[in-house]
Every structure is written in C-alpha cells, then in structure tokens.
Structure 1
Amino acid sequence: MIETTPNYMEIFKFSYKKSIIENLESTANQNLTLFEDSIREAIKKFEKKHNKYCTKISVISEELEKIEDSESEDNFNLQQKKHELYGKQGDYYVECHWLNEQLKSLSEMQIINAFKNVEINIKEMLNIAYPKLSLKDFYRWESLEQFFKSKNIKLSVLEGYKEILDLKNLNNTLKHNGLLNENIKKIEEFKDDEEFNFVNIINFYERVKSQIPIFLNRLAKEIENDLFNFDEERIEQIAKDLKQRMDQKDLKLLREKLAVN
C-alpha cells in the first residue's frame, strides 16, 4: 500500500481556520453573565427588604384609615396610637427610599457592565480576526460601525442590534448625567416615566439581556465570513483591486507565491 505524504500546509491552513472560528465563537459568549450571577442575589435581597417595608407601610395606612373613620377619634388612646403609627410609617418610608436607591444603583451597574462586556468581546474578536489592527481608535461606537462597514459588515442588520443600541444609549446616559431624556423615552420601558428607577431599569435589562449573545454570535459569524468566505464576485473584486495597484512583475510574483502556498 502506497502511503501519501501529508500536505502540512493544508493541515496548517485547516488548523488555523478552525482555531480562529472556535476563538471567535468562544469570545462571543465570554463573561456575559459573570457580573449578573454575582449581583443577582444582592438584588433579590434588597428587593425582599424593600417589599417588606412597602407592605408594612400599606398595613399602617389601612390602620390609620380605620382610626380616621372611627367615631371615637377624639379618644386620647386612639390619637396616641395614630401618632405612633405615623412615626413608624415615616421610618419605613426612609428605609424604602434607601433600599430603592440601592436597587437603582445595582440596576445601573448591571447596564454599565453589560455594555462594557459587549465592547470587550467585540474588541477581542477584532484582535483575533485582525491582529495587526490598532484598537485604540475604537473607543467610540461609531468607529466600530465604520470599521465593520469597510468589511461589508452592517451591524444594523444583525439580530439584536436595536437592543444593543438601546443598551449603549442607556449606558451613556446613566454614566454621564443620569437624566431620562427624550432619546431614552423612545425605549419601551421608559416611555411613560420622568426619571429612572430600579423597576424600569431592571425591566429593560431583563428584556434585552438575551439579545446580547445573539448579536455577538451573529457578528462572529460575519467576521468569519469576511475572513474565510470568498465567492467568485469577491475574488474578482480582489483581483481587480490588486491589478490596479501592482505592476506586472509584482503580479507575477503574487501568482507564483499563491501557486506554491
């Protein structure tokens, strides 16, 4: 039986392509829930306390209504009890306010961390796919979009893009001034509100979080296509571009190198 000599160049090409694709897919899903897992219990803990105090406030309000409706309102004991109930209710309102602010802070941290993870994962995918690319200019989202556009990758058509864009806008607003502006009011969870609270922020996060890995995985696939998929039209365009920029000597050398490799 004649043994064929392995084509090490083909093996290398396959391994390189396989490695890049696996790294892109892995990076698209990297650390997306790490912070969420660590903060979920804290949110549940504060929500439980917040709801407990809200219930106590409601119970006291009912008791006060009964006293108000009582024919014996002039009774000294009832008046004293009323005074005590108002004092307790005031204390509970303070606790509720404090817990509400803590929950708001935690929910804001979720948003900021989620978008930071999106940025980190995208830049890491760029580093994997285009290792010679300088990432220092990609501190602005618009710069990322412009780069991908140059690769014929339109972020705006990818599934999950709208949610990512809303996440970006909310992240920027929370980080810079924290005021609910008209742009944010276009988002479903904030359209009827005048300020941020932990309820509308958490509701937004719960709605969009599942779209984050979907968007990143779609982007990873588009990057893979840019690196490894060459149809006839694309090859023809590459050949046309090179022919315009290279002289005959360089073209000949390129053909020889392609034939060898």
Structure 2
Amino acid sequence: MKRTQWFIGLIGLTAAVMILLQGQPWYLPVYAQDPAPATPEAVSEEAPAAEEAPETAEEGAAGEAPAPAAEEGATDESPETATPATATPATAAEEPPASPEATTSPAPSLALAEEGYQDPGQRFQVGLLADYTQTMLAGVPVFESPDRTLAYTVALRPRATDVDLNAGALSQVAIDTFRTGEGLQVGAFEPVTDGARLPWTGTLTMGRNTQPMQGVMLARQVPGRVLLLLVAATAEAADQVDAVYATLEPTLTAPDPA
C-alpha cells in the first residue's frame, strides 16, 4: 500500500482552503504588540538608619552627679575630636558572567535547483529544492520530496494597506489561514527577518488511518500581501524540517517590480 497517498491529501485540503482565501480581499487589523515587561531595576537595599542611642537617664534623675561647671577662661568651643573615617577600598564593578553561547548548530542548507519557482502572477518566488517534484493543486504549487514524506507550499493573503505588522500579527495571519487543519496545534512564534516563524503539529485521518504531522510556518510581509510558507512532514521526515526551512526561508520573496 502506498504510504504517501494520504499525505498529498493533506496538502490538497490545505490548498483548497488557500485558494478560497486568495480570491477574496481581506482587511487585517493591526494587532498591537504587547510591550515586553520592563526589566525590574536592581533595588539597592538602603543601609538601615543608625538607631538613636537611648537616653541614659532623664534630667534630674536621682543619683546622677551634676556636671562640673566650666572653668573660667576655658574656650567656649571644645575641639572636635575627628573620627577617622574608615576608608572603604573601592571595588571594581563586577561584570556579569557572559551568557553561554548557544550550542545548537544551524540547520544545514539543502541543495536548490538552478531556477526557483516564480509565481505566474508575479506575486512571489520561492526556491525549488533539488529532486523535489512540483504539482499544482487548484492553482496552488505544492513541492514534494522524492519519497513524499515531506512537502511545502506557499499561500498568500492580500492586504488593503501596507501598515507594518509585528511578528505577533503576522503569526495570527498564519494561524487564521491554516486553522482548519485537523488537530492543528501551533507553538510559540519566533520573530525572523520581515516575518515570523511558527512550529506546528497536527494529524491527518484518511479512512481508519490517522497519521501525525508536523512542520513549520513562515509568515512574511511584502508590499500588498503576506506570504505564507508551509512545510509539512510525516514522522519519518521530521528531522528534515529545520533544514528545509533554513534553505527556503531566504528564498521566499516578492519579485522586484519591472
């Protein structure tokens, strides 16, 4: 039994949703990005105020010897006894320890075909991975690996204005576009150049078979639209998702105007 026929069904369903959205202009509200919580300033503990010495005795208390009268000729001002200040050695400001560098190495880049994919409507372009096959589903391009365990596609959402969107707003565009995916669960978004990256997981049920799926989305703002790259993989190809994304991310662009 061919193990991948159900997989092309996932992309087909996704493409069907995307083509319906592409034909309708939409107006995306600008999502306000919650400000990052202010870093609490270091609160310097003030030295406790010196406690006042308790009075040793009340005036006129019994048993207290009267203070001797000042002798004539004595100077009115008694010399102040200078209390030598204890010099506190200046300590150099300690620098915080350097943060450990990330030990994870970047995902390797995969080979690309000499010519990438150019949208017939001149709306976007994306790289074509070597040995991947291209299929058009309802006018949406789908690119599949030779063993059909991994595929990617590009959707777009037209915009009424070119107001800059932050990473949170772009992430919401991606979620709204692919929210009909079966069992779709989206992880925390990560800001990237001109866009946002979101990992996702889901399932696909074909008949009695339910297959786990996972991948990554990229939402990138270009003039007049938001481009959406979707990478989907079976459990067998899950370890290739990062490499595919790292290779395709810089290639997802809008063509230069003629």
Pairwise TM-score range, normalised by the shorter structure: under 0.3
Q: What TM-score results when the alignment is normalised by the length of structure 2?
A: 0.21
Q: What TM-score results when the alignment is normalised by the length of structure 1?
A: 0.21
Q: Which has the larger radius of gyration?
A: 2
